[in-house]
Amino acid sequence: MALELDVVVIGAGPGGYTAAIRAAQLGKKVTVIEKENLGGVCLNVGCIPSKALISAAEAYQNVSRYQEMGIEIDADHVKLNYAKVQKWKRSVIDRLTGGVSSLLKGHQIEVIQGEARFVSKNEIVVTHANGSDHYHFQDCILAAGSRPMELPDLPFSQRVLSSTAALNLEEVPKRLAVVGGGYIGIELGQAFAKFGTKVTILEGGASILPGFDKRLVSTVNRNLKKANVDVYTKAFARHCSEKNHEVTVTFEAAGEEKQLTADYVLVTVGRKPNTDQLGLEAAGIQVNDKKLIAVDRQCRTNVSHIYAIGDIVPGPALAHKASYEGKAAAEVIAGRGSVVDYRCIPAVVFSDPEIAVVGVLEKEANDQGIETRVGKFSYAANGRALSLHAAEGSVTLIADKKEGVVIGAQIVGPEASNLIAEVGLAIEMGATLEDVALTIHAHPTLGEMIMEAAENALGLGIHSM
């Protein structure tokens, strides 16, 4: 006989645990089913460990920059203990996943360890170490996430790594080949380069970081060159062979076949939604040709009491998008009329320097027939940026020309990931360029550049012509 559940959430990543907590806050009895670890990919093998590694790499690289500031350090006394780096990374993960566990307990949310599959539109079976159990539910939120995509000609092995495996390496490779120049490949490639690895990136498109403005990408490209990272574009990996603790990749670039030998190959060509593991057909849930679940503006699937969020639905695979959708789905289940609105969801690349964009960008506005007013400001003209030895980068603010309402922004430079939030708030509130320009920003701060860009768009810039 099936056990009765009220709201069941399948997956405990940022989308799943957020949805569970919001549903519990609104009076629902919630059960979470997770087959691996609380926090999902993001907290355990994605966002958090990668940013911890990136931060450690940045700190290590900064030692060489201190000498320009008059801080003299004997290079022989600077050592990298990578085992300690990994231990510190693990402590960050443990602290956050432990926090998620406490939050779920605090909201009286039951957690079941196991893998869930539908057997009907109201019933699931959960397989675990001791067998399996059947559950009947009233409402369900699917937050099953995604996994690294594997290339048929470069299957994962001891030397051909997914991003998950690369984050858990016990050594810093001397040579690393990265197949895929998207955000994961660039972030991890730059991090290992700062640790001293010779990195080569193979990107199939005409540019790394496809989808981002060329002006933003060019700044990252300059830093890749400074770090002695080789980048091949329009390059296609054909196959690889492993021998004597190294791997050789055969690839095609500029019409020629080339070979690259490295200690490891990191494959970062995208992620695959975990919809094939849920038994969706038994519940009658429809997926598109990319195996993503179609949902409406309330995150509802074609089966009215089953909702889907995060990496298994259309749109960018972003943890903060999943959390946002999770709250909306939980609120709908609780009887509220919530809908999703993606105008203010930022996209961030933790490259060097960082890239962050939000809202409607200049080219998109032009394509949509929107007349724009654009203001730009350079990091090189900001006092705080110069004092941080971070003069490379720029802020671009986009507004509707007629009303002056802020509609988008793109930032490349240190702390872009944090600066973009102010513009997201401005868009959400319907703020104008004048609103932003008249907001007093503390000095000296990086945030002043948002104000300065707004002033420049109005033709009232103080610190730039």
Rounded mean pLDDT of 70-75? 74
Q: Is the pLDDT of residue 121 over 90?
A: yes
335 in a labelled binding site: no
266-305 confidence digits (pLDDT tens): 999 999 999 999 999 999 999 999 999 999 999 999 999 9
Q: Superfamily assignment of 3-148+272-342 in CATH? A: FAD/NAD(P)-binding domain (3.50.50.60)
CATH number of 160-269: 3.50.50.60
Stretch(es) of the chain classified as CATH 3.50.50.60: 3-148+272-342, 160-269
Was 182 annotated as part of a binding site?
Answer: yes
The single residue of 134, 239, 389, 443 carrying the catalytic annotation is 443
Given a cut of 90, whether residue 1 has pLDDT beyond it is no
Residue 131 annotated in ligand binding: no
Q: Is 443 one of the catalytic residues? A: yes
Quick one: three-class SS letters along the chain?
Answer: CCEEEEEEEECCCHHHHHHHHHHHHCCCCEEEEECCCCCHHHHHHCHHHHHHHHHHHHHHHHHHHHHHHCCCCCHHHCCCCHHHHHHHHHHHHHHHHHHHHHHHHHCCCEEEECEEEEEECCEEEEEECCEEEEEEEEEEEECCCEEECCECCECCCCCEECHHHHHCCCCCCCEEEEECCCHHHHHHHHHHHHCCCEEEEEECCCCCCCCCCHHHHHHHHHHHHHCCCEEEECEEEEEEEEECCEEEEEEEECCEEEEEEECEEEECCCEEEHHHHCCHHHHCCCECCCCCECCCCCCECCCCCEEECHHHCCCCCCHHHHHHHHHHHHHHHCCCCCCCCHHHCCEEECCCCCEEEEECCHHHHHHCCCCEEEEEEEHHHCHHHHHCCCCCCEEEEEEECCCCEEEEEEEECCCHHHHHHHHHHHHHHCCEHHHHHHCCCCCCCCCHHHHHHHHHHCCCCCCCC
pLDDT at 76: 63
Q: What is the pLDDT of residues 210-232, one digit of tens each?
A: 999 999 999 999 999 999 999 99
Check if the beta carbon of residue 394 is closer than 8 Å to that of residue 376.
Answer: yes
Asked if pLDDT for residue 261 goes beyond 90, the answer is yes
The answer to whether 424 is annotated as binding is: no
| Each residue's pLDDT tens digit, 312-352 | 999 999 999 999 999 999 999 999 999 999 989 999 999 99
- The mean pLDDT value for 146-159 works out to 95
pLDDT one-digit tens code per residue, 106-117: 999 999 999 999
* 181 known ligand binder: yes
Is 307 annotated among the ligand-binding residues? no
Q: What is the fold of 353-457?
A: Enolase-like; domain 1 (3.30.390)
* Interval 386-435: pLDDT, tens: 999 899 999 999 999 999 999 999 999 999 999 999 999 999 999 999 99
Query: Is residue 203 part of an annotated ligand binding site?
Result: yes
Task: Consult the annotation and say whether 359 binds a ligand.
Answer: no
Is 462 annotated as ligand-binding? Answer: no
Confidence of residue 166 (pLDDT cuts 50, 70, 90): very high
Look at residue 105 in the predicted model and tell me its pLDDT. Answer: 97
Mean pLDDT of 170-199: 97
- Name the one residue in this structure whose structure tokens are 């492993």: 242
82-106 helix and 14-25 helix, angle to the nearest 10 degrees? 20
Confidence of residue 2 (pLDDT cuts 50, 70, 90): confident
Predicted confidence band at 462 (pLDDT cuts at 50, 70, 90)? very high
Mean pLDDT rounded to a whole number for the chain: 95
Instruction: Please report, rounded to a whole number, the percentage of residues in the chain having pLDDT higher than 90.
Output: 92
pLDDT for 216:
96
